[in-house]
Amino acid sequence: MKMSLGESLVVTLFGESHGLAVGALVEGMPPGIELNHEQLIEDMISRRPGSGLASKRKETDEVELLSGIYEGRTTGMPILMLIRNKDAKPKDYSFLPNQPRPGHVDHVIDMKTNGNADLRGGGSFSARLTAGLVAAGSICRDVLPDEWKVEAVVGAIGGIEGKEGFVAAEDARLSQDSLGSRVDLTISGLPVGFGEPWFDGLEPALANALMAIPAARAIEFGNGIDAGKMKGSDHNDSWGENMQLDDNADGALGGMASGAPLRVRITFKPPSGISLPQKTFNKNTGLIEELAIKGRHDPVIAPRARPVVEAVARLVLADLGRQGGYIDE
Amino acid sequence: MKMSLGESLVVTLFGESHGLAVGALVEGMPPGIELNHEQLIEDMISRRPGSGLASKRKETDEVELLSGIYEGRTTGMPILMLIRNKDAKPKDYSFLPNQPRPGHVDHVIDMKTNGNADLRGGGSFSARLTAGLVAAGSICRDVLPDEWKVEAVVGAIGGIEGKEGFVAAEDARLSQDSLGSRVDLTISGLPVGFGEPWFDGLEPALANALMAIPAARAIEFGNGIDAGKMKGSDHNDSWGENMQLDDNADGALGGMASGAPLRVRITFKPPSGISLPQKTFNKNTGLIEELAIKGRHDPVIAPRARPVVEAVARLVLADLGRQGGYIDE
Amino acid sequence: MKMSLGESLVVTLFGESHGLAVGALVEGMPPGIELNHEQLIEDMISRRPGSGLASKRKETDEVELLSGIYEGRTTGMPILMLIRNKDAKPKDYSFLPNQPRPGHVDHVIDMKTNGNADLRGGGSFSARLTAGLVAAGSICRDVLPDEWKVEAVVGAIGGIEGKEGFVAAEDARLSQDSLGSRVDLTISGLPVGFGEPWFDGLEPALANALMAIPAARAIEFGNGIDAGKMKGSDHNDSWGENMQLDDNADGALGGMASGAPLRVRITFKPPSGISLPQKTFNKNTGLIEELAIKGRHDPVIAPRARPVVEAVARLVLADLGRQGGYIDE
Amino acid sequence: MKMSLGESLVVTLFGESHGLAVGALVEGMPPGIELNHEQLIEDMISRRPGSGLASKRKETDEVELLSGIYEGRTTGMPILMLIRNKDAKPKDYSFLPNQPRPGHVDHVIDMKTNGNADLRGGGSFSARLTAGLVAAGSICRDVLPDEWKVEAVVGAIGGIEGKEGFVAAEDARLSQDSLGSRVDLTISGLPVGFGEPWFDGLEPALANALMAIPAARAIEFGNGIDAGKMKGSDHNDSWGENMQLDDNADGALGGMASGAPLRVRITFKPPSGISLPQKTFNKNTGLIEELAIKGRHDPVIAPRARPVVEAVARLVLADLGRQGGYIDE
């Protein structure tokens, strides 16, 4: 089982939610990139648990940079980013493996590994591993040319766009429930033709990487599912003066940047971890029983997934940029 | 630029829409698989142009098997599947590169390759290359255990489900326009735990491969974008007697099969190639001019994409199955 | 089972010695490279069977270029190079699988594939597949900067250097036997630092690719096995004026070009296919029996391996050059 | 720049000789393998500096296992093995980058990275990184079936076989010089057919991985360079009763195990780091000057490379074994 993303710039995740550490090993970073420590700290804080609409787990998420950095710059060699788990509470998971939680990966990993997995908090499948993605994405910022813009925002919570969505999330939290949500990502400023053919195309590569964020259930590009209802004469974006497209045009054609911004929407399911008691099977007793999970949960995913989406998008762009020769070694 | 899918079972596409040939090279096929020629012919016919709601291009799509087969069985060595283009009409594309078509890849590849691409009919980015995918997917049928079921149907055309959708498509064709559509894919019978972590998970791997099908604009798993509006207490699927899930449950958890069917929906935009005259930029004259495309076009994608979706899903399952040791060499 | 070489520029071999065809699919070629047909023909002739110290098999080895070329130039898309087998004589191998030849792969593939391999003439393991390597290496010539020089010569035959070695080979042929040999490869003009760390280093990458040429038994770099007998004070190459090294210095340090020519020696065993009768086991009778092989054999490998060594070296340099950003997409 | 080995079982090295740490990230390890801590400690000691014919650098080389292990067994997830540098003496390298050492990588990395590398002690190109290889190889021991035997011995020092070679090494050390050497590796008990075709064949895969060990200059299989002088009638190994080969036969045919032991010899150059003063170019002064290196050096490589060779061989077998389905996930 491998946990690697990318081909020319490769990020490999490691770690377990309630083990010693999580983190990422980054290969293929060009040499001479100055490390922006303040930005790294800021990025880590943006996805950190412990605040508002997030799990109460308290992690400082300090990133130890153990290789590939010399005198504050990348050397071009693999960069090991290690994040120690400090507020692990493995005892919260003593109901496993007998009472797998509904909507969680517990039972599935248990089967896959013949009982050898670390199930506590989802083990290596936990959203905690996105800390490594955010750390890796942060050091990619300075690899990408300034004119390539990556921006993600919370698009909707519980189907409600704007500030009202956050109110809905707070309601869900108070009722010990959770809510689905959406993150909207915009990538702009890519050179026309950026991206590779077929399976390494912009959308296929982003779809692969973004769908790997825990709880992602759908990904849309451009007009997304609405494209399924449109006529070609309405959907086609005409080339304007000097081959310009307007900002609502599709940002990718044939997997390559068209010149228009690439609009992406990622839908996340409501977090499976809720405090409401749920009926589910107990492998030990052979009965359907009530399970009340203590744990520390996020009532909604989008606010914390937002920086993860940005980090993943930057990693994909850095990799495709290296593959296509847009970013020098 | 590479056109490969998979890691343990690898399919590499090649060819151009109006060049000599298209096809696929398949590596990692186990030895001893009996080739089902009738099935291969049937699969090729199912995506072939020339019929009803499809382009009028006439191709017999005979597949020459030039390596890796001996006495009717796979040898385990790379299998070269070659499909000659017989009804290429490159002259239909004499307006290129000066008048790139709206919604097409013409201008984008031209920029990417500094004018060295074969632009005729989209070159290597044409849906014609899905012939290679269908051929490769066909020989994967007998690699997958019988109980793993892959089935795709036309889900909707122009937003209309069922037979009425086809009527809408015919209307679009008659009015020289095109319509968006959706293919619904169901994968069932996978062993619990099937799939790999993170970026090789079932959804990430399928999202990657399926989004590479030309014109795909969105992919949804399970409840898809509706999951963004749901509460956790509604969305969570409780484990029933003996850890069974009901058929509406999410088919994948943590990227691995949960035991329930995996439901996938792929939305395709309306084909960009329409016969209606369109205004667009002419690089030669520097003016916005009307462009009327002759060519031979599909008015809607789903009917012909349906077998491609199945083929791609089989290729992904064969690859993940090889990676995870579910399919022996 | 895969037959691919390279990461950024990828060559995948296919075909069988006595099947329909052999060839190569080349991915990652930059667009806009003009194809030199005369050079390609010349390169194919240089390894072709049918002449002097070579097998009497007669093959014209015409290369059909079926994709990735448009108007005489590469498009950047995968290039399919197909070489039909015209003088296959599968009947010569009717003694298989019962009487596997000494020193040949017959028995080994048979075991590996549970009897499903195409054993005739070694199937996919035959030196006939080097035709694809030479074809692929030929189109790499114009990808490499002119100042990067790749030259291979026959170093020794039967341990005898120079012209006398060829006489020894002719003697071996007349006595229905075969002889070992060596090819000496020199690569010069690489920029200092060319190559990647560790397993993608110049020597590791060349060792991998060159040892895959059928019958290779040893590979030496610089002083080779003599380095094992030397003192550091003798072996170390001092940096001269302006960091120049003399031409006898090691051409690679840490897997990267030092500025001196890289000297490589590849030793080939005597061809296993000899006409002298040999005693060996017959699986059918369960007895040790005499086996006289008709077939058409080379009495010595180096003369025909020479162009293969050059081709493989060019492929490795093109791949490492693409990886390291020395060759633009 | 990447530092990864393998495809199904992947080891990625990281770290610098005089940075904070070295180590390895191992992906693709099957779940449920019990960790043998005593064996790991023993393996690390076997290559550790600080003893007899080795550098005087003192490192305990404790391996922190930070992920992928749960309750003493592998979980199947990536295993991070971290080894802190405790006796780094970066000040020993203050002569860099101005006075690059003869035979060392200093100047070459400096050029490759535009002055951004960590040059101290060779940085990421140092033999210190083999600590990660030995750690990774150690946990592969229990993945390989018991009947697959991997054994490496010191074959020769300064061209002298047996115990006398060690005396020669001691002489070299006393005279502040160094000596070349050879390690002999034997792999036996592999199933007939083990290995993959062409570039993933046993010899090509081993050649790639073993040539990446710092200072390796040649690799020989079977009769090695002597095969270049032999006749086919002498070199061919006849199949004996029930297809058995004798122990001197070639251990691989067509890149796959033949049933006979695979004999491999790796030649190492004399260590470049010697205490004798050497004349070499000073970039700062522009003059050829005398350079006396303090540092802490090995006078000969084979004794410490021996366990590295074994570790690398185990990693290659584990990877090929996973690829070929000989080792289950």
Distance in angstroms (rounded) separating the CA atoms of residues B82 and D234: 44
Q: Span D22-48, mean pLDDT?
A: 96
Q: Is A329 part of the contact surface with chain C (CB cutoff 8 Å)?
A: yes
Q: Judge whether C329 is closer than 8 Å to chain A, CB to CB.
A: yes
Tell me whether residues B208 and A212 touch, CB distance under 8 A: no
Query: Does D122 reach chain C within 8 Å, measured CB to CB?
Result: yes
Q: Is the Cα dihedral C172, C178, C182, C183 positive or negative?
A: positive
Interchain proximity C14–B2, CB inside 8 Å: no
Residue A79 or A89, more confident: A79
Contact between B293 and B173 (Cβ < 8 Å): no
Q: Give the pLDDT mean for A310-323.
A: 98
The pLDDT tens digits of the residues spanning A221-269 come to 999 999 999 999 999 999 999 999 999 999 999 999 999 999 999 999 9
Would you state the structure tokens that stand for residue A30, as one six-digit string? 């060009």
Both structure tokens of C195: 């190559």
By C-alpha distance, the chain C residue nearest A8 is: C323
Mean pLDDT of the region C314-323: 97
Question: What is the share, in percent, of chain A residues with pLDDT greater than 90?
Answer: 90
pLDDT of residue D91: 82
Instruction: Give the model's pLDDT for residue A94.
Output: 87
pLDDT on residue D87? 85
Say which CATH superfamily domain C90-323 falls into.
Answer: Chorismate synthase AroC (3.60.150.10)
Question: Residue range A173-186: average pLDDT?
Answer: 96
How far apart, in Å, are the Cα atoms of A184 and each of A152, A210, A222, B265?
5, 12, 11, 20
Give the angle subtended at the CA of B8 by the CAs of B6 and B12, to the nearest 5°.
45
A276 to B233: CB separation less than 8 angstroms, yes or no = yes
Confidence at residue A1, expressed as pLDDT on a 0 to 100 scale: 93
* Tens digit of pLDDT at every position of chain B (329 positions): 999 999 999 999 999 999 999 999 999 999 999 999 999 999 999 998 765 667 777 888 999 999 999 999 999 999 999 999 998 887 888 899 999 999 999 999 999 999 999 999 999 999 999 999 999 999 999 999 999 999 999 999 999 999 999 999 999 999 999 999 999 999 999 999 999 999 999 999 999 999 999 999 999 999 999 999 999 999 999 999 999 999 999 999 999 999 999 999 999 999 999 999 999 999 999 999 999 887 667 899 999 999 999 999 999 999 999 999 999 76
Q: Cβ C21–B67 below 8 Å, yes or no?
A: yes
Residue D295 pLDDT exceeds 90: no
Torsion of CA B301, B303, B306, B311, to 10 degrees: -90
Crossing angle of helices C202-211 and D202-211, rounded to 10°: 170
Residue A247: exposed, middle, or buried by beta-carbon count in 10 A (0-12, 13-18, 19+)?
A: exposed
Per-window interface: D 222-251 vs A, CB < 8 A: none
Contact list in B for residue C115 (CB cut-off 8 A) is: 32
In this structure, what token pair is assigned to residue C292? 């006289």
- DSSP labels, C120-140: GGGGGGSGGGHHHHHHHHHHH
Q: CA-to-CA distance for B223 and B253, rounded, in angstroms?
A: 13
Model-wide pTM > 0.95: yes
What chain C residue is nearest to D256 in terms of C-alpha separation? Answer: C108
Beta bridge partners, B253, equal B256
Three-state SS at A173: helix
Between the CA of residue A318 and those of A200, B180, C24, what are the distances in Å? Answer: 13, 32, 30
The residue of D253, D274, D288 whose CB has the most chain C CBs within 10 angstroms, and thus the best one to mutate to test that interface, is: D253
CB-CB contact of A130 with A61 (8 Å): no
pLDDT band, very low/low/confident/very high, at D199 (cuts 50, 70, 90): very high
CB contact at 8 A, A281 and A295: no
pLDDT tens per residue, range D43-59? 999 998 765 667 777 88
DSSP A233: H
Q: What percent of chain C has pLDDT over 90?
A: 90
C273 pLDDT above the threshold of 80: yes
pLDDT, residue B91, reads 82
The answer to whether residue A153 scores a pLDDT higher than 80 is yes
Quote the mean pLDDT of chain A.
95
Structure tokens at C221: 């770099």
CA–CA min distance B324, chain D (Å): 6
Look at residue B328 in the predicted model and tell me its pLDDT.
Answer: 79
- Judged against a pLDDT cut of 90, whether residue A293 lies above it is answered with no
Confidence (pLDDT) at A84: 96
Is pLDDT of C19 > 70?
Answer: yes
Picking from D158, D192, D257, the nearest residue to C229 by CB comes out as D158
Residues of C with Cβ-Cβ distance to A8 under 8 angstroms: 8, 323
Per-state percent for chain C, helix, strand, coil, to nearest 5: 30, 25, 45
CA distance B301 to D284: 67
Which residue in the set A20, A113, A123 is minimally distant from D66, CB to CB?
A: A20
Average pLDDT for chain D = 95
The predicted model gives A32-54 an average pLDDT of 87
- Contacts for A168-172: CB closer than 8 Å, 24+ residues apart: A169/A53, A169/A299, A169/A300, A169/A303, A170/A53, A170/A299, A172/A270, A172/A299, A172/A300, A172/B231, A172/B232
CA distance C57 to B47: 42
Q: How does the average pLDDT of chain C come out, rounded?
A: 95
pLDDT in tens, A275-291: 999 999 999 999 999 99
**Is cis: bond before B97, omega within 30 of 0?**
yes
Tell me which of A8, A79, A328 to substitute to probe the interface with C (most C C-beta atoms closer than 10 Å): A8
Query: Which of B10, B67, B117 shows the shortest C-beta gap to C19?
Result: B67
CATH superfamily to which D4-323 belongs: Chorismate synthase AroC (3.60.150.10)
pLDDT at C71 exceeding the cut of 80? yes
Burial of B160 (0-12, 13-18, 19+ CB in 10 A): middle
Output b/e per residue, A143-156; b: 16+ Cβ within 10 A: bbeeebebebebbb
B21 touches chain C (CB under 8 A): yes
Both structure tokens of A324: 């296509």
Q: Which chains touch A (3 or more CB pairs under 8 A)?
A: B, C, D
- Say yes or no for a CB contact (<8 Å) between D27 and A12: yes
User: Where along chain D do its domains lie?
Assistant: 4-323
Task: Read off the tokens for A313.
Answer: 């998008």
Alpha-helical runs (H) found in chain A: 37-47, 106-112, 130-140, 163-174, 202-211, 232-235, 302-323
C109-160 confidence digits (pLDDT tens): 999 999 999 999 999 999 999 999 999 999 999 999 999 999 999 999 999 9
Q: Give the H or E element holding residue D188.
A: strand D181-188
Task: Measure the CA–CA gap between D85 and D128, rounded to whole angstroms.
Answer: 9
CB contact under 8 Å between B179 and A230, yes or no, is yes
The span from the CA of B13 to the CA of B5, in Å, is: 9
Question: Which residues from B are below 8 Å from A278, CB to CB?
Answer: 233, 236, 238
